[in-house]
Amino acid sequence: MQWSDMIKVLPEGVNTLSKRPSVHVEGVYPKFIIKGDGCNVWDENGKKYIDFPCSLGAVVLGHNNEPINKAIRDVITKGTLFSLEHPKVGELAELISGLIPSMETMRFLKTGSESCSAAVRIARAFTGRDPIICCGYHGWHEWINCTTPKNAGSVQQDVTSVEWGDLKNLERLLEVKKPAAFITEPYIYATEPEIEKWLKESRRLCTVHGTLLIFDENVTGFRTKKLTAQNYWNVKPDLTCLGKAMANGIPMACVGGRRDVMKVLEDDCFVSSTFGGDLIGIVAAIAAITQLKQSATIAHIWQMGAKLKTSFNNVAKSFILEGVRCIGLPPRTHFLFPTSAHKSLFWAECLKKGVFFGHAQFASFAHNQFDVDTACAAMSHALKIVMKNWKDPEAVLGGKPAAETLRTITVPAEKVPVVEKVEPKKDSDKLVGQIAKNVAEPSKRRGRPAGSRNKPK
């Protein structure tokens, strides 16, 4: 199917907003990916790329992973969905519980959005409270969508966002709102000491105020050392949300936590899905987690991610490019540029060299030294082009600069700043620091959107 036909039958031509042409470099990036193998993908014209968005972080072991393929082949001829549960469902639950001690019991779903929505419902049922405090991106469902720009059709709920790392405001909101839960992504693009402080203090504050702590580990799960952020920093949440990489791109998600909290599902709290126990997802998750629990797997992912980040920063520093830096922990990093046009030119030049970048880079187990070396060479070339066209990158871009994703503009309902284009300044450290905060704490960019159904508190 041609793109012109695609947009006639799909709004904006996509099912997932992060796949829209506008959030890449429209006019330069391909519209379709038709094949993946290892760390490579191929577009509709047969051009091969080294893949760093990795299916928005869902593919952590690489495309076309043979152990997962075999597990699916073994089950698919025997039936994949029945009217009673299959023993493999219990096997997966036991595997996860053994690896993530906080998840004493759990329920399987299909998407990360579902897992977060279920966790919020469970927390409200357990505590008897309605307010929720959130931090980060938690999907598209009703309870969180009322805080986003695309909120038409949402029903107003008592949900308030807090900036990542803002412990003072979190404590204030816990005192004032008395929420059922505080749900947070354990980390976005921060340093290890900052993450440890945020998680441990969030745990302490939630305990003091009788609020359930929910870790949304849809992104951080299965790519952080010790498999999860909670394991690595030794902080135990009350509920955990998993998804994305847990089955290496096969639809699979999970919500789990303390036995007494999850027990509400045995009473009058309803979380159920026909496809939660679909065996394709179940056996894929078992096969994926079995590979990921090997310490060498996660170590390799961090090694490849660290090399990519270090190389980018070394080249950017050598060129003295203002406002240019790679931030984040090795398994998920982000390129900072002073404007979208600068970043888009960098992306476009890397694409010409066969390296596919997006709003986040996810190192995978399939990336090897050669792949990363190739990417590093492409980045060096691209940064030279950006440097030569620093004053007007859009003039040579050949397409439209990439727009931000919804993830980066979800903000607290209380604040009313306006999105502004960041221009290069003389004080590069100050500029980079501000851009980093805008990425990790997107509330600095935009306030409650016009027409929002999330009433200011």
pLDDT in tens, the chain (457 residues): 898 899 889 998 888 888 888 999 999 999 999 999 999 999 999 999 999 999 999 999 999 999 999 999 999 999 999 999 999 999 999 999 999 999 999 999 999 999 999 999 999 999 999 999 999 999 999 888 888 888 888 888 999 999 999 999 999 999 999 999 999 999 999 999 999 999 999 999 999 999 999 999 999 999 999 999 999 999 999 999 999 999 999 999 999 999 999 999 999 999 999 999 999 999 999 999 999 999 899 999 999 999 999 999 999 999 999 899 999 999 999 999 999 999 999 999 999 999 999 999 999 999 999 999 999 999 999 999 999 999 999 999 999 999 987 665 444 444 423 333 334 344 434 433 443 444 434 333 333 333 333 443 3
Asked if residue 242 and residue 112 are part of one domain, the reply reads yes
Asked if residue 70 and residue 55 are part of one domain, the reply reads no
Separation CA 410–CA 16 (nearest Å): 16
Domain end among 247, 268, 292: 292
Asked if residue 173 and residue 83 are part of one domain, the reply reads yes
pLDDT value for 415: 40
Q: Residues 318, 323, 329, CA angle at the centre, nearest 5°?
A: 85
Pairing of strands 355-356, 48-51: parallel
438 domain residue, yes or no: no
pLDDT value for 407: 60
168 domain residue, yes or no: yes
Dig out the tokens for 314 from the structure.
């070394």
Asked if residue 86 and residue 55 are part of one domain, the reply reads no
Separation CA 248–CA 2 (nearest Å): 28
pLDDT value for 153: 86
Asked if residue 112 and residue 56 are part of one domain, the reply reads no
pLDDT value for 408: 52
Asked if residue 392 and residue 277 are part of one domain, the reply reads no
Asked if residue 218 and residue 155 are part of one domain, the reply reads yes
Convert the chain into a string of H (helix), E (strand) and C (coil).
CCHHHHHHHCHHHCCCHHHCHHHCCECCCCCCEEEEEECEEEECCCCEEEECCCHHHCCCCCECCHHHHHHHHHHHCCCCCCCCCCHHHHHHHHHHHHHCCCCCEEEEECCHHHHHHHHHHHHHHHHCCCCEEEECCCCCCHHHHCCCCCCCCCCCCCEEECCCCCHHHHHHHHHHHCCCEEEECCCCCCCHHHHHHHHHHHHHHHHHCCCEEEEECCCCCCCECCECHHHHCCCCCCEEEECHHHHCCCCCEEEEECHHHHHHHHCCCCCCCCCCCCHHHHHHHHHHHHHHCCHHHHHHHHHHHHHHHHHHHHHHHHCCCCCCEEECCCCEEEEECCCHHHHHHHHHHHHHCCEECCCCEECCCCCCHHHHHHHHHHHHHHHHHHHHCCCCHHHHCCCECCCCCHHHHCCCCCCCCCCCCCCCCCCHHHHHHHHHHHHHCHHHCCCCCCCCCCCCC
444 domain residue, yes or no: no
431 domain residue, yes or no: no
Asked if residue 80 and residue 226 are part of one domain, the reply reads yes
83 domain residue, yes or no: yes
Residue 276 belongs to domain with CATH number: 3.40.640.10
Asked if residue 125 and residue 49 are part of one domain, the reply reads no
Q: Is the dihedral of CA 423, 427, 433, 436 positive or negative?
A: positive
164 touches 188 (CB < 8 A): yes
424 domain residue, yes or no: no
423 domain residue, yes or no: no
Other Cβ atoms closer than 10 A to 197: 15
Residue 50 belongs to domain with CATH number: 3.90.1150.10
Half-sphere exposure of 293 (CA within 13 A, CB side): 13
Domain end among 292, 319, 353: 292
Domain end among 259, 292, 325: 292
Domain that holds residue 214: 66-292
Asked if residue 130 and residue 25 are part of one domain, the reply reads no
336 domain residue, yes or no: yes
Total number of domains constituting the chain: 2
Asked if residue 332 and residue 279 are part of one domain, the reply reads no
* Entry pTM: 0.89
Dig out the tokens for 229 from the structure.
């952020």
Asked if residue 272 and residue 350 are part of one domain, the reply reads no
